[in-house]
C-alpha cells in the first residue's frame, strides 16, 4: 500500500496573546505516506503532542495547510471533522483514556456504535475479533476498571482500530507501561501495520520504541529537524 495519506505545510500554532504568546509550531511541514510506521521524537515542549492533536483534527492550527486523503482539514467545520475523525483516524493516548464505566468490548466498539446509533451484532463481532487479536480473549466483557495497565492500553489500541482507520495517532502509548507491556503493545502495532497497512504515527521519548519504527521524525523548536 502506498500513496500520500496526509500533508501539512507551514503549520503554525500559537497559544495565548501579547506578551504571553507561546509559539509551539513554527511553520512545520510533514508528509505521511499510507502504510508508514513512524515515530515522532523530540524533547518535551517541542510540539509533538500539539502536532498529533492537530493531525487528529481535535485542534485547528493558527495558520498553515492540512490535507488528509485529499480533503481540506482546515476549512472543514466541527461536524464534518467529527465524521471524518470517526471514519479515518484512531487514537491511542498515554493514559489509555477508556470510558471507565464500560467493559472492554463496549469501549472497543464505541466508535462504530456512536456512528450507527446502536451496538450491532457485526460491531460486537468485529470488536471481539480485535480483542482476541490483542490477546484479551478472556477480558472481552470485563469492566476496564479491573484491567491492568497493559491490558487497558491494548484495549485502547483495539478501539483505535475498530473502524479500520487509515491513520492511528499514538501519543506516548507505552509511556505508562512496564517494559514487557510496552514491547507487547509495540509488537501488536507493528503487526497491524504490516498486516492491514494502517499508518501509525507514534509520539515517544523512548529511543528503543522509536527504533522499532521504520521512520523517525524529529521535532525541535516547532519544526521538523530530522
Partner 1 sequence: MLYALKIATRYLMASASQTALLVTGVAVGVFIFIFMSALIGGLAEFIMARTVGDMAHITIDAEPTDPPLLLPRAPGRILLVQQKTDQRSNVLPDAAAFIPTIEAIPGVLVTSQEITGSGFLIRGKLVQQVSVTGVEPGKVSAIVRIGSYIVEGRPDLAAGTVLLGKTLADNMKLAVGQTVRLQASTGIDAALTVAGIFKIGSGGQDRRQAYVSLATARTLFAMPQAISQIEIRLADLYAADATAARIEATTGLHATPWTEQAAQLLAALKAQAQTGLLLKSFALVTIVIGIASAMLLSTFRRRPEIGIMRAMGAKRSFVLLVFIAQGAIVGLLGGVSGAAIGYLVLSRFPGPGALQPGGLPIDVAQGAFGLAILLTTIGAILASILPARSAARVDPATAIGQ
Name the residues that contact partner 1, by CB under 8 A: 49, 52-53, 56, 58-59, 78-79, 82-83, 85-87, 91, 93, 97-102, 110-111, 113-119, 159, 163, 171
Q: How far is CA 18 from CA 21, 46, 184, in A?
A: 6, 21, 46
The CB-side HSE value for 99 (13 A sphere, CA atoms) comes to 12
- In angstroms, give the least distance from the CB of 183 to partner 1: 25
Would you give the DSSP letter of residue 73? Answer: S
β-partners of residue 167 are 89, 199
- In angstroms, give the least distance from the CB of 156 to partner 1: 10
Name which of 82 and 212 has its Cβ closer to partner 1: 82
Give yes or no for a contact between 2 and 197, defined as CB atoms under 8 angstroms apart: no
Name which of 114 and 137 has its Cβ closer to partner 1: 114
Residue 181: closest CA among 163, 145, 155, 214: 155
Strands (E) across 75-166 are located at 89-92
- In angstroms, give the least distance from the CB of 138 to partner 1: 22
Name which of 41 and 92 has its Cβ closer to partner 1: 92
Name which of 76 and 113 has its Cβ closer to partner 1: 113
Q: Go through 192-219 and write b for each residue having 16 or more CB atoms within 10 A of its CB, e for each that does not.
A: bbeeeebbbbbbbebeebbebbeeebbb
The number of residues in the chain equals 226
- In angstroms, give the least distance from the CB of 38 to partner 1: 19
- In angstroms, give the least distance from the CB of 141 to partner 1: 14
Name which of 32 and 109 has its Cβ closer to partner 1: 109
Amino acid at each position: 500500500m502506498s500513496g500520500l495519506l496526509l500533508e501539512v505545510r507551514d503549520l503554525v500554532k500559537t497559544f495565548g496573546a501579547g506578551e504571553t504568546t507561546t509559539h509551539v509550531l513554527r511553520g512545520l511541514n510533514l508528509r505521511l505516506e499510507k502504510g508508514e510506521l513512524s515515530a515522532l521524537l523530540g524533547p518535551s515542549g517541542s510540539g509533538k503532542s500539539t502536532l498529533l492533536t492537530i493531525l487528529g483534527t481535535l485542534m485547528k492550527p493558527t495558520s498553515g495547510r492540512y490535507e488528509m486523503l485529499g480533503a481540506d482539514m482546515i476549512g472543514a467545520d466541527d461536524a464534518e471533522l467529527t465524521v471524518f475523525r470517526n471514519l479515518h483516524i484512531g487514537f491511542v493516548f498515554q493514559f489509555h483514556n477508556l470510558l471507565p464505566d464500560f467493559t472492554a468490548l463496549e469501549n472497543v466498539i464505541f466508535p462504530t456504535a456512536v456512528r450507527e446509533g446502536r451496538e450491532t451484532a457485526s460491531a460486537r463481532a468485529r470488536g471481539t475479533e480485535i480483542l482476541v487479536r490483542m490477546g484479551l480473549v478472556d477480558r472481552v466483557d470485563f469492566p476496564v476498571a479491573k484491567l491492568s495497565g497493559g491490558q487497558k492500553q491494548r484495549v485502547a489500541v483495539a478501539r483505535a482500530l475498530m473502524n479500520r482507520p487509515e491513520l492511528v495517532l499514538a501519543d506516548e502509548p507505552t509511556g505508562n507501561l512496564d517494559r514487557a507491556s510496552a514491547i507487547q503493545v509495540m509488537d501488536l502495532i507493528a503487526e497491524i501495520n504490516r498486516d492491514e497497512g494502517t499508518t501509525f504515527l507514534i509520539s515517544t521519548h523512548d529511543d528503543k520504541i522509536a527504533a522499532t519504527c521504520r521512520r523517525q521524525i524529529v521535532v525541535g523548536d516547532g519544526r521538523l529537524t530530522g
